Amino acid sequence: MRQHILYIVILLLTSFVVVQLSNNNNVEANTSFKVGFVNIPEIFSQYTKAKEEKEKVRQQYQQETLIIKKLEEKAKKLKEKIPLYRAGSAIRQRYENELAETAFKAKNQSERAKYFMALKLRNSTEMVYHDIAKAIEKYAKDNNFALILKIEEADFFGAQDPAQVKQKIDMRNVLYWKNSLDVTKGIVKLLNK
């Protein structure tokens, strides 16, 4: 819902700016209103820092997964040992306690890893997005763009039902743009310097 409202606000602001510029009597005839378009998902996929940040998070998740697997293997070995000892014996009780503690540690480590990896991925994505936004702003100022809008191709791959297809259609900001107005490559080049 927020996205729809955001899109409506962006479109209203864009139309307001265009109307104001076209109606303004003080604007000289030779003043141009340059508009560009960027494909944000493409920038994310081609931006070196975005790839590096994603790889860092993936490696950290693998390290956490190894710790969890070791705890799970230890728990499995303890489960195999416990039946070898007489019920109620001190050694069996010790192994049962150790199994409960190890199982708790494995579950806790798994939940902790999921939480912190999601947080790290969110933070790194946000950081990369801010870099991209700054690069777009710099590119726009350096090349005298009045407006740069986000574009994306409609991707219906994950849509399971008509409502999901409709939602993907509704999320699009721009339905048509000339390829010559796409400044994505320029932004990627600026970011990867």
SS (HEC) of the chain: CHHHHHHHHHHHHHHHHHHHHHHCCCCCCCCCCCEEEEEHHHHHHHCHHHHHHHHHHHHHHHHHHHHHHHHHHHHHHHHHHHHHCCCCCHHHHHHHHHHHHHHHHHHHHHHHHHHHHHHHHHHHHHHHHHHHHHHHHHHHHHCCCCEEEEECCCCCCCCCCHHHHHHHHHCCCCCCCCHHHECHHHHHHHHCC
pLDDT given for residue 11 in this prediction: 53
118-134 pLDDT, tens digit per residue, is 999 999 999 999 999 99
**pTM score, whole prediction:** 0.67
- Specify whether the CB–CB gap between 53 and 131 falls below 8 A: no
Q: String of b and e for 106-134 (b: at least 16 CB within 10 Å)?
A: beebbeebeeebeeebeebeeebeebbee
pLDDT in tens, the chain (193 residues): 666 665 565 655 565 555 555 555 444 444 578 999 998 989 999 999 999 999 999 999 999 999 999 999 999 999 999 898 898 899 989 999 999 999 999 999 999 999 999 999 999 999 999 999 999 999 999 999 999 988 877 777 777 788 877 777 777 767 677 788 889 999 999 999 8
- Please give the structure tokens belonging to residue 96: 């049962």
